[in-house]
Chain A
Amino acid sequence: MSADLPSGFWSGWIIVLTLFSLACVAWLVWSLYFGKDIDEHPEVEPVWDGNLQEGHNAPPLWWFWMIFGALVFSLMYMMFFPALGSNAGILNWSHGKRLSDSYENFDANFAGVRAEIVSMSLVEIQNDLDLMDTAERIFRRECSVCHGPEGRGQANLFPNLHDVDWQWGASAEQIEQSIRGGRSANMIAWQAMLGEEGVEQVAEYILTLDVGGDASLPGQAVYQQSCTACHGPDGAGNPLLGAPRLSDDIWLYGGDFETIKASITNGRFGIMPAFGHRLDDVQIKLLIALLVR
């Protein structure tokens, strides 16, 4: 990685102006201390209003040394670091190099532990309290704003990840897919197709799915016609489509009549963002171990 430094004319411009102004400061300080003294040449000091004349008090010596020290420091700094135009400096320092050094350092310290995690089974990770602690920290940092601090869901939009109901599947592979690629559920709005009455009928029917579905309800026919393709004939759902089980009492958006009606009327489009590029393989594996049973 080579640094993005100014080049050509502007490099020379920076070098000349910087060194020139340093030289001016050096000359000014020098001439204040070692130049000819006013007392020897009273004629150069102006006299104002006939008799007002500035006396001559040299600035204190510590001030001189401070400026002198600062000058020496800036010269050294410009030699070691990229300060003068396209000159990269003796240390060859750059932001990019510091960053890659940090990552080398990180690898040197953690490559062993990380390789070990990659080779461990999920059960082994689950039995390691330290690793689970780390997994929980990652979860709190990345996931808790939606799924809640303990992953128990919140706001009737973000699912509980600790219940038995998995919209997109409970296996390690399916959970990995949910985290890496994200999920985007798509249930269209049914209002236009079913009408207000149809929606109410099918909502009523859905509420009976937990006891097998009341076939005497008018909603049954609607359900069989429009909903089974995704939610299954008995409401068991379909993890391939992210269609939730409707025959239990676990609801993402809510299981009361009004909310179910709203789900059907307006459709639902839950989005779980993809984390494949935000988290690395080790972090994702730890999260899977945290969530899978």
Chain B
Amino acid sequence: MNGLTIHRKIEEHTGLLIFGILIVSAIGGLVQLLPVLNQESLETATSNTRPYTAAQLTGRDIYIREGCSVCHSQQVRPLIAELERYGPYSRAGEFVYDRPFLWGSKRTGPDLHRLGGKYSDDWHRIHLLDPRAVVAESIMPAYPWLDKRSAKETGNITAKFIALRRLGHPYSDEDISGAEAELEGLTEMDALIAYLQVLGTGLSGEDEGAAL
């Protein structure tokens, strides 16, 4: 049998052609994705990574809604320049409760993965309302509506918790029944800041020693 006979067979049988195309286009995924999905070290949470609280999860959704990822990435790469600027490089285990993760690829502004604890809540509040008030040359847009809206209006938090639990996030029944109450009195600004302050805080010294 040579190439031409096979060629002929395939051209004459559409079913065979479809099957062949599927196999060929699946190879990349079979080699790259399937083994990674089964690699335990990549789906084990780092020691301080916790499921998001109601406020943090709402903040995350606001982050997505406002398109912050358009200008900010959330991944510190393992390069000396990035470690010196941002802190320890990002580990896969820090994103186990991110669905989807917000790694992004565009850095008009700085990377935000190690942002948690870097600035105070007050600073974030001023900066989000008017970036120019603290960084004169900033080109980041202002988000003045964030502190006028209630965090409770940003989607149904109970439903989100239930959906995430179905995907394996360890929320207890109390977490779910208390989610709505946790947002009581918070603005979208408060929720977003709660999210920003927890970014990148999932790493302990022990994780930092792990191999790369």
A interface residues with partner B (beta carbon < 8 Å): 1-4, 6, 10-11, 13-14, 17-18, 21, 27-28, 31-32, 35-36, 38, 41, 44-46, 94-96, 98-99, 102-103, 106, 141, 144-146, 149, 154-155, 157-158, 270-274, 277-278
Contacts and interface: CB of A to CB of B under 8 A. Distances in A.
Contacts of A38: 4
B123 A145 contact: yes
A217 to B, nearest CB: 32
B126 A28 contact: no
B14 interface: no
Interface of B: 2-5, 8, 11-12, 27, 30-31, 34-36, 38-39, 41-42, 78-80, 83, 85, 87, 89, 117-123, 126-127, 133-136, 210-212
B107 to A, nearest CB: 16
A32 B6 CA distance: 12
Given A4-B41, A4-B211, A95-B78, A17 B8 contact: no
B211 A46 contact: no
Nearest to A103: B80
Contacts, number: 104
Nearest to A149: B136
B134 A155 contact: yes
B35 A36 contact: no
B34 A271 contact: no
Given A6-B39, A46-B11, A36 B2 contact: yes
Q: Which 6 pairs, one residue from A and one from B, show the smallest C-beta to C-beta distance?
A: A31-B3, A96-B212, A10-B35, A102-B80, A271-B120, A95-B78
A144 B89 CA distance: 24
A6 B212 contact: no
Contacts of B30: 13, 17
A28 B24 CA distance: 13
Given A17-B27, A155-B126, A46 B83 contact: no
B136 A3 contact: no
Nearest to B39: A6
Given A10-B39, A46-B8, A273-B118, 8 more contacts: A10-B34, A10-B35, A14-B35, A95-B78, A99-B78, A99-B79, A271-B120, A272-B120
A141 B86 CA distance: 11
A183 to B, nearest CB: 11
Contacts of B35: 6, 10-11, 13-14
B31 A17 contact: yes
B175 to A, nearest CB: 28
A99 B210 CA distance: 13
Given A17-B30, A31-B3, A146 B123 contact: yes
Contact of A96 (B38, B78, B87): B78
Contacts of A3: 211-212
B2 A35 contact: yes
A32 B136 CA distance: 64
B78 A2 contact: no
A45 B12 CA distance: 11
B12 A46 contact: yes
A273 B5 contact: no
A154 B31 CA distance: 54
Nearest to B125: A157
Contact of B119 (A32, A96, A146): A146
Given A4-B41, A17-B31, A273 B120 contact: yes
B34 A99 contact: no
